[in-house]
Structures are given as C-alpha cells and as structure tokens.
Amino acid sequence: MSLSGATAAPPPGQVAVAPPSVDEATQHNAAGLAKARNRDFDGAIAEYSEAIRLDPTFAEAFRNRGLAESNKGDLDDALRDYSQAISLNPRYAAALYDRGLVYARKRDFDHAIEDYSHLLAIDPTSANAYDNRGLAKTDKGDVDGGIADYTTALSLDPKRASTYYARGRTKLGQGDRAGAIDDFTQTISLNPQYGAAFTERCEAHRKNNTFDAAIADCTRAIELNPKAATAFLRRGQARLQKGDLEEAAQDLSEAIHLLHGVK
C-alpha cells in the first residue's frame, strides 16, 4: 500500500508517461510561427496540429493554423479553425477579424459583416474592422453603409491612404465625382506612389470633362507603372474625347496589347 501522496509505480513492463506539458504545446506553436514566417505553411500546420493535440483548448494554435490554411488557399479548413478558436474564446478579436477576411474572400458578405460587427463590439477603436466591414458592405451593395464605415475608419486613423482610395472609388461609382477627386487627392498626398489613385482620379476628371487633368493623372500612373493597362485605356478615352485622335489611338492600342497581348 503506497503512502499518502506518493505516486504509484507503473505496472511491470510499462514505462511511466508524463502528461503532455502546456509548455510543450507552446513550443510547437512557436515552431509553427517560425515556419509560417518562412512561408513553410505545411510545416507550420504540422506544428500547430501537434500543439492542438497536446492542448485541445489552445485557441491561439487554432487561429494560427487557420492563418496558415488561409495562406494556402484552404479556406474551408481555415474557417473551421477560426471558428474553433472563437468557440474557445468568444472575445478573440484577431480570430474574428481573420474569419471575416475569409468570409469576404468567399463572398459571404453577411457573415463577414457579422464578424466585423462582433469585433467592433469588443474593440470599437479598430479602424481595420471598420475598413473591412465597409468593403464588405459595399460589395454587398450597401454603398451608404460602406461609406459610413470608411469614414469612421478615417476618423480613427486619418493616415489610411487605402481607405481614402476605397471611399473615393465608392463615391465615383455613385456619381459623386467631386467627392471622389477629393478622396483620391488625399490618397496621393499620403502616398505619392499610389498609382491606382492617379488612375481613378483620371477617370473622375474624364467624367467631369476636365480632359487635361485626366490626361495628366493617367500619365503619372503610367510613369509609376508602364504596364498599367487601365491607365492607358482611360488616357486614350480622355484623348479621344478631347479630339487628340492619333494619341488616343496609340493609347488604346497599348491598352489592348497589355490586356490581351495583341499589338
């Protein structure tokens, strides 16, 4: 009979096995992060899976495995792991954000909006969540809701060039050319190398019949990216409307070449 508190010896022929250590699970999770940084996503998934085997309540390992799966394009597996992380920790803002991104990639905008809204209930200061919810709302067709979320994101972080750009594109789609031009101008002031903003501002000017401004913006976009087919197309359209037929033909020909490989 063993003394109180003593550990019983294993039966003859069997080796005592220590219970899995949480520290060991943490080590596998850390090894997965290192492999993911080197874009060895299969190796990372194997490490996270071992961490989860050792500690099935390890929400961070589920989220990290979801990230690796998402990077591989295995979106359904990623959703499964993000959902498990969230079930283990319903206030896991990072997992909600990541799952929202995957839902948006799958064009399941309702679930994406739901995840970003849940995240914002946890952290109302997340400009990224407002930004991505705005994009999901816009893609769903709720343009006013999208603009409202972009605007809130900018109130939280006024240095977000990409958010000004997204809001500008949305305004341009609504026919608000002046508002779009203002947003694209703000984008360019924050990031003078933002070629797509020059291209979109070119289009806004073209639709305003301010052809010289349009041509100047598309020219700058082409300087930044000589393979910017859309910039050649829109500059060609602006030149055509202005009456510069020869230059318009050259631009449109180049656009066709870049888009379809036809000279």
Confidence (pLDDT) at 262: 55
Q: What's the rounded Cα separation, in Å, for the pair 19 and 23?
A: 11
Spatial distance between the Cα atoms of 67 and 261, rounded to a whole number of angstroms = 36
pTM here? 0.84
pLDDT at 261: 75
Of the candidates 22, 79, 86, the one whose C-alpha atom is nearest the C-alpha of residue 60 is 86
* pLDDT given for residue 10 in this prediction: 37
* Three-class secondary structure of residue 76 per DSSP: helix
Domain(s) labelled CATH 1.25.40.10 in the chain stretch across: 22-89, 176-263
pLDDT in tens, the chain (263 residues): 233 333 333 333 443 334 555 599 999 999 999 999 999 999 999 999 999 999 999 999 999 999 999 999 999 999 999 999 999 999 999 999 999 999 999 999 999 999 999 999 999 999 999 999 999 999 999 999 999 999 999 999 999 999 999 999 999 999 999 999 999 999 999 999 999 999 999 999 999 999 999 999 999 999 999 999 999 999 999 999 999 999 999 999 999 999 987 55
CB 87 within 8 A of CB 62: no
The dotted CATH code for 176-263 is: 1.25.40.10
Which two tokens mark 36?
A: 């993911």
DSSP state letter for 261: S
pLDDT at residue 21 in the model: 56
Tell which phi-psi region holds residue 243, choosing left (phi > 0), alpha (psi between -120 and 50) or beta. left
22-89 falls under which CATH superfamily? Tetratricopeptide repeat domain (1.25.40.10)
Q: By the 8 A CB rule, do 65 and 32 touch?
A: yes
Task: Name residue, tokens 């009456």.
Answer: 243
Contact 171, 179 (CB under 8 A): yes
